[in-house]
Amino acid sequence: MRIFDPHIHMTSRTTDDYARMAAAGVRAVVEPAFWLGQPRTNPGSFTDYFDSLIGWEPYRAGQFGIVHHATIALNPKEANDPRCRPVLDLLPRYLDKDRVVAVGEIGYDSMTPDEDDAFERQLALALEYDLPALVHTPHRDKAHGTRRTLEVVAASGLAPERVAVDHLNEVTADIVRDSGCWMGFSIYPETKMSPPRMVEILRRHGLDRMLVNSAADWGISDPLLTLETGRAMLAAGFTDDDVDRVLWRNPVEFYRQSGRLDLTAIGSTERTFAGSSIKRGGS
Ligand SMILES: [Zn+2]
C-alpha cells in the first residue's frame, strides 16, 4: 500500500512517527500551516513557522524517504487576533515558494467577521497565485459552517475542483458532495471520524474527489490512521486499486493542480541541507 497523507501536522510529531509512517507505506505528506495550541503574539512567530514548514520539516521527512510539501495561510482561529492579522500581508512571499502546493488551512473556526475577511482575502490569493485551497470546516456548528464555507468559495471565483473542504463527516459530506469541491476526511482515534465510518462514506459517495488524512498533530491523533482506513476498505471488499486511488492517486491529482508537486525524491534518503549531506540506511 502506498500512502499520501494530504493533511498532517508533522511539526508536532517525532522521528519515531516518521519511521513508523515510512514502514507503513507513507511516501508523501502535505503539512498545512495551522495554529500551534499556544497563541502566537506577533507575525515573526509565523514566518519562523512557515520557514520551518518549507525548510526543516521537508529535511526531516526526507531522512525517511518521505516527500514533504506544505500549504501556507493565516489559520481561521488566529485570524481573530489583531496581533496576527498582519500575517496576511506576508503570505505572498511564501505562496511563491516551490514546496507550497496550496493556500491553507483557511476557512472558519467561530465564523466571526474577521474570519470572513481573512477567508475571502486568502481565497483571492489562491486565485492570484494559481494555487488550490485547503479549507478547514469548524468543529462546532459544523453543518451551518460548511454551508457558509461553500457560499464563500462559490463567490470567490475559484473553481470548485481546486478547493478541498476538510474535516467532513456524514452530515457535511452530503452538503459538499454536489458543490464540485474535493471532500477531505480527517480520521481520529477516539472522536469524530473513524476508519469504519470512513468506509461507509466511501460506499455511499464513491471514490471521486475523496481525500483521507490523519491530520495528526499535538492532540490525540495517530499518523497511521490512513493505513488503518486502507485496511478497513480492503476488509469491506474494496480492491487494492480502490485503496490506491483514495490513498495515493486522489491526493496526487488534487495537489498536482499547483504545478509544484514534486515526487521524484520518494524513497531517497540522501538529502543535502544547509551545505551538509546526510545518508541513512546504507543504500
Ligand atoms: Zn489541520
DSSP symbol at 111: -
β-partners of residue 167 are: none
Rounded Cα–Cα distance for residues 128 and 121 (Å):
10
Confidence of residue 272 (pLDDT cuts 50, 70, 90): very low
- Expressed in angstroms and rounded, the spacing between residue 9 Cα and the centre of ligand 1 is 7
- Report the number of secondary-structure helices (H) and strands (E) in the chain: 11, 10
Mean pLDDT of 1-12: 97
**CB-CB neighbours of 253 under 10 Å:** 15
Q: Residue 262 C-alpha to ligand 1 middle, in angstroms?
A: 22
Q: How far is the CA of 119 from the centre of ligand 1 (A)?
A: 16
pLDDT higher at 272 or 138: 138
Q: Summarize pLDDT for 199-249 with one digit per residue, the tens.
A: 999 999 999 999 999 999 998 899 999 999 999 999 999 999 999 999 999
Strand partners, 186: 213
Give the global pTM.
0.94
Q: How far is the CA of 276 from the centre of ligand 1 (A)?
A: 31
Q: Is the Cα torsion angle 245, 246, 247, 253 positive or negative in sign?
A: positive
Distance from residue 279's CA to the centre of ligand 1 (Å): 31
Burial bucket for residue 126 (CB in 10 Å: 0-12, 13-18, 19+):
buried
- Separation of CA 215 and ligand 1 centre (Å): 5
What's domain 3-278's superfamily in CATH? Answer: Metal-dependent hydrolases (3.20.20.140)
Burial 5-43 (b: 16+ CB within 10 A, else e): bbbbbbbbbeeebbebbbeebbbbbbbbbbbbeeebeeb
Instruction: For residue 270, name the pLDDT band (cuts at 50, 70, 90).
Output: low
Q: How far is the CA of 7 from the centre of ligand 1 (A)?
A: 6
Domains of the chain: which residue ranges?
3-278
Whether 277 has a pLDDT exceeding 80, the answer reads no
Centre of ligand 1 to C-alpha 282, Å, is: 34
